[in-house]
Structure 1
Amino acid sequence: MKKVLLSIVALVFVLGAFAYQNQTAIMLALVKYKSANEYEVGPPREIAWKQGPAQSDTPLVDRPPNIILIVADDLGYNDISTFGGGVAGGRVQTPHIDQLAAEGAVFTQSYSGSGTCAVSRAMLMTGRYPTRTGFEFTPTPSGMAPMVARIAQEMDPGKPPMIYDQALDESKPPYEEQGLPPEEVTIAEMLREQGYNTYHIGKWHLGRSNGMAPHDQGFEQSLLMASGLYLPEDDPNVVNAKLDFDPIDQFLWARLVYAASFNTGDLDRFEPSGYLTDYWTDESIKIINANKHSPFFLYLGHWGVHTPLQATREDYEAVGDIEPHRLRVYAAMIRSLDRSVGRINAALEEAGIADNTIVLFTSDNGGPGYIGLPDINHPFRGWKISQFEGGIRVPLFVKWPARITAGTVSGEPVAHIDMMPTLAAAAEVPHPEGVEIDGKSLLPLATGEGADQWDRETLFWQSGHYRVVRHGDWKLQVAARPAKQWLYNLADDPTEQVNLAESEPAKLAELQALLDEHAVNARAPLYPAVLESSIAIDKTLLEPFAEGDEYIYWPN
């Protein structure tokens, strides 16, 4: 499939009989045709979830905690109202996510593992940096890189051009075979060994074959997002918002279909039974009800609020007359995500297991600039596909009534690499023998038990030549394209406005040495970066690039 799509792109490039401006439309039409006929998609079906015992002689408080990890996709820091924000200037609030935060621990300086999704998800599962796993770049569907590069250059010729390497792209394994190596130990494998029933629902993005699918990486059962439409494009209950200014959006509308699979990776596809966010929540509640008397781990990888922007008509009407249209659809998607969190918390209460269930909520990275909504990461600079605070600062809330006091707040810098060791500590599962874990358990910070012993100072991020370290309150970003260093004191300048790289040479050298040391024994990336995207730091994609704008080249 990968070679077919790359061949389609190459073929259309040489079709001189067609006007140049029509070639992109032709390529997208061919991608859409191929995607629609690539797999047979069957009707919706019932999922036979594994059932726990009908009763237990062990009191709930004496059992290992249940665990539900909820990961939103591309959620902006300002999209939720917990920190005083909310979509459309606060018109759309997130009361259920806010309640989850209020009833547990809030980490006010929480970071994703990367500025893009799959790398963060690998770190959530393993607690390990890409320098150990080699999983450094986010796999993209076949044909996406050259199409996005081409469309972007057509739309804004004044912007620094994207850099695409076709030969490297053709040398990589197919999209489905790019993932987290099977020899990596996931938190799901660790919990399953301890007797947990383990379930995955939704996005995975860590491979679909060769032992890398979720049902091969520790999850007994996996209801996988096999493509990416929330509803069929022409469904009477859907409201779509297409972003004609966004090359990624144009490709996704051509490439994606409405499909799920169950424990088969890419095979045996069928239609979900409703709008994805609600459908996955329905299935999550079934898992909760099936495990009232046995410990379970549910990883709910929501697709919301990633593009393509699609909302139910009910949510679209409920958020009111917000302008522009794409913001209203986006707000409606936030509403559905918030409803999901509320329904899951309510199901836990109704099942009588809320007290000993850990519910974690985070996002895989910050909100993207390519959707053209300037305030989603406010007050932070930058977007998804950058490692400014707007790209990597994410919410992290942890609720566990049996152990965590409501209203707990921690200002320690924490990150996605800490999720695996936190869950392992909560379940009293030992770390895998001989495996180096980079994260630290957050339980001392969340529970207050031993918080004064928590002592980590340094966090790292990396995407090819673009490397970042935070040490104490200081943060250094280093890039080769453009060749630049950005140094900030986040205690004084949390929104990264004043670059101190020239005025603080000693601090610059100190942090550069930490980056160099981190790279000494780094594992090479499993798959090469084939596209470098030029990302404006302070503008959405809707705003034309101008001379003097700060930007970064992001390798992927």
Structure 2
Amino acid sequence: MKIFVLAAFGMSLALGVFSSFRPTEKSAGQKPNIILIVADDLGYGDVGFNGQTKIKTPNLDRLAAEGMNFRQQYAGTSVCGPSRAALLTGIHTAHATVRELSEWSLNGKPADLIPADVTVAEELRRAGYKTGIIGKWGLDEGGTTGNALAQGFDSFYGFRTHREAHHYYPEYIWQNNEKVLLPENDCAKKIGTYSNDSFASQALTFIQEHTKEPFFLYLPFTLPHNELTVPDDSKRAYLNLGWPKRPMQVAHYHHDLDGNLAYAGMVSRLDRYVGQLMAELKKQDLDENTLVIFTSDNGPGFDNGFFDSNGPFRGGKLQLYEGGIRVPFVARWPGKIKAGSVSGHPCAFWDFLPTACEVAGIKPTANIDGISYLPELLGKSKKQKKHDYLYWEINEREGPVQAVVMGPWKGIRFYEKPFELYNLHDDTAETTNLADKHPNLVAKIKTLMNETRTENPEFPLTKRKALY
């Protein structure tokens, strides 16, 4: 792959208008390409197709209009590292190698993937796919076994650790195992190359270089995660709208002065990247032979209510209420997925690996928690297998916390606090705790939480503070 370090990323495709078209000889007979786009801290309600009215997301809305919108898609958990680990390995946080960020492990050991973990990239490479990751990896905190190139990816461009991804004008970006210095960048002054512009440019190049072979492109942008900053051209559409200003304090994060303006601009810039990618697929005659999935790693971490980032749900990032784990999710595959379709199928990040494997015509090699949702994508709901339950845990701030969704019921167990039980069919916002009215159901869910979990010495369900 070529190294793109641009003084200013040329938005030659502007808003990236894209459309469906007839299959071509170039894509005929080739296994479907798979592009997985993951936003960072984007809430369920931050996109137009889920009801957002203040922030404009025309390309994402078109993606939904031409594909399937999942209304009950869950992240791996409500913080980045373990959520992404579940996405890549098909294993949820009851059994995962990575269950927290490193600073929340018991002894502060790096929370990395290990050689025994089998990622979706390893599976797809076995099926003949070229694999690449561009953006935030965040699973190589120790610089050893978690390296993306050791976990099935042929190429890598981006941030190895989650802390490297905190700034948008970084001092360096990794190209495979080489640290590419960006001397023209100044994080505090916000001068140089905006990192996600480079990610988008690299993604276009990846597509251009893999037109004759099936590919899997994992594209985890860092927008709209803190810090809240974006080039001025992405703010212009939101100037002079009478929005309340949200003054930001500069510390570890070098925020722009107005948080509301910056946040909206960041989401819109992410939307622009998606439009560019879709236009490139059309240009390369790959559109109809490519499954594109868009989602977010967890619930919103910024909104104070102005944008309704969590939509109709309660809570956000670092919480296991629906707002922290239910995320936007759209899948588009012309000719395969019915345009404008909506699914209520409850699924989660650990279902992506078996889905990608089924698309590629192989079976997962590891023992996983996920179930392929390909039948649902193809409109074969009667053949779609469902989970008996879905499980999460997290130990940051309010933790340890466990949650289980089982049919319409959701149980949440906080450390040394009363159990919470909600009927999501009747009470999506989780406002009425029904635990006292259903003691037998509470007992069943508690037993399930206990029996499902595999102990891990670095991630016990004990009360603790971050080590650094």
TM-score, normalization by structure 2: 0.84
Q: Distance in 2 between matches of 1:555 and 1:180?
A: 20
Offset from partner CA, 1:382-424 (integer Å, 9 cap, x none): 1100000110010111111142121222101111011111111
Aligned-partner SS, 1:314: helix
* One-letter amino acid of the counterpart of residue 506, structure 1: N
Shift, 1:61, TM fit: 3.2
Q: Distance in 1 between matches of 2:467 and 2:168?
A: 31
Find out whether 1:275 has 2:194 as its counterpart: yes
Shift, 1:491, TM fit: 0.4
Aligned-partner SS, 1:359: strand
Offset from partner CA, 1:206-255 (integer Å, 9 cap, x none): 115212111111111100225236544xxxxxxxxxxxxxxxxxxxxxxx
The answer to whether the Cα contact below 8 Å between 1:319 and 1:328 also exists between their aligned partners in 2 is yes
Q: What is aligned with 2:297?
A: 364
Shift, 1:58, TM fit: 7.4
Q: What is aligned with 2:11?
A: none
The answer to whether the Cα contact below 8 Å between 1:230 and 1:275 also exists between their aligned partners in 2 is no
* One-letter amino acid of the counterpart of residue 67, structure 1: I
* One-letter amino acid of the counterpart of residue 476, structure 1: G
Find out whether 1:401 has 2:337 as its counterpart: no
Q: What is aligned with 1:475?
A: 410
With over 3 angstroms needed to count, the CA separation of the structure-2 counterparts of 1:487 and 1:531, relative to structure 1, is closer
Range with greater deviation from structure 2 (296-305 or 365-374): 365-374
* One-letter amino acid of the counterpart of residue 92, structure 2: Y
Q: Distance in 2 between matches of 1:229 and 1:515?
A: 33
* One-letter amino acid of the counterpart of residue 176, structure 2: N
* One-letter amino acid of the counterpart of residue 165, structure 2: G
Q: Distance in 2 between matches of 1:456 and 1:516?
A: 18
Aligned-partner SS, 2:419: strand
The alignment-based identity, stated in percent, is 34
Which one has the largest radius of gyration? 1
Shift, 1:106, TM fit: 1.3
Aligned-partner SS, 2:69: strand
Task: Point out where structure 2 has 5 or more consecutive residues left out of the alignment.
Answer: 8-23, 186-191, 246-257
Q: Distance in 2 between matches of 1:334 and 1:530?
A: 36
Instruction: Choose from 425, 430, 439 the match for 1:505.
Output: 439
Q: Distance in 1 between matches of 2:264 and 2:193?
A: 19
Find out whether 1:524 has 2:456 as its counterpart: yes
The answer to whether the Cα contact below 8 Å between 2:292 and 2:333 also exists between their aligned partners in 1 is yes
* One-letter amino acid of the counterpart of residue 485, structure 1: F
* One-letter amino acid of the counterpart of residue 286, structure 1: T
Q: What is aligned with 1:75?
A: 42
Q: Distance in 2 between matches of 1:302 and 1:323?
A: 27
Q: Which has the higher helix share?
A: 1
Q: Distance in 1 between matches of 2:418 and 2:439?
A: 14
The number of residue pairs the alignment matches comes to 421
Q: Distance in 2 between matches of 1:318 and 1:453?
A: 42
Instruction: Choose from 376, 390, 395 the match for 1:459.
Output: 390
Q: What is aligned with 2:75?
A: 112
Offset from partner CA, 1:63-85 (integer Å, 9 cap, x none): 11111100000001111110222
Instruction: Choose from 162, 166, 173 the match for 1:260.
Output: 173
Find out whether 1:429 has 2:362 as its counterpart: yes
Q: What is aligned with 2:218?
A: 299
Offset from partner CA, 1:255-278 (integer Å, 9 cap, x none): xx442111117x454468722222
* One-letter amino acid of the counterpart of residue 202, structure 2: E
Shift, 1:178, TM fit: 2.9
Shift, 1:95, TM fit: 0.8
Instruction: Choose from 299, 306, 311 the match for 1:378.
Output: 311
Instruction: Choose from 173, 180, 184 the match for 2:117.
Output: 184
The answer to whether the Cα contact below 8 Å between 2:50 and 2:328 also exists between their aligned partners in 1 is no
Offset from partner CA, 1:282-326 (integer Å, 9 cap, x none): 110111111111111110011000001011111122322333221
Q: Distance in 2 between matches of 1:329 and 1:228?
A: 17
Shift, 1:374, TM fit: 6.7
Shift, 1:531, TM fit: 8.0
The answer to whether the Cα contact below 8 Å between 2:130 and 2:215 also exists between their aligned partners in 1 is yes
With over 3 angstroms needed to count, the CA separation of the structure-2 counterparts of 1:229 and 1:212, relative to structure 1, is closer
Q: Distance in 2 between matches of 1:229 and 1:505?
A: 44
With over 3 angstroms needed to count, the CA separation of the structure-2 counterparts of 1:491 and 1:331, relative to structure 1, is same
Shift, 1:91, TM fit: 2.6
Task: Point out where structure 1 has 5 or more consecutive residues left out of the alignment.
Answer: 1-41, 47-56, 146-167, 233-256, 534-553
Q: Distance in 2 between matches of 1:457 and 1:555?
A: 36
Q: What is aligned with 1:128?
A: 91
Aligned-partner SS, 1:78: helix
The answer to whether the Cα contact below 8 Å between 1:69 and 1:361 also exists between their aligned partners in 2 is yes
Q: Distance in 1 between matches of 2:217 and 2:302?
A: 31
Q: Distance in 2 between matches of 1:115 and 1:357?
A: 29
Aligned-partner SS, 1:484: coil
Aligned-partner SS, 1:60: coil
Q: What is aligned with 2:20?
A: none
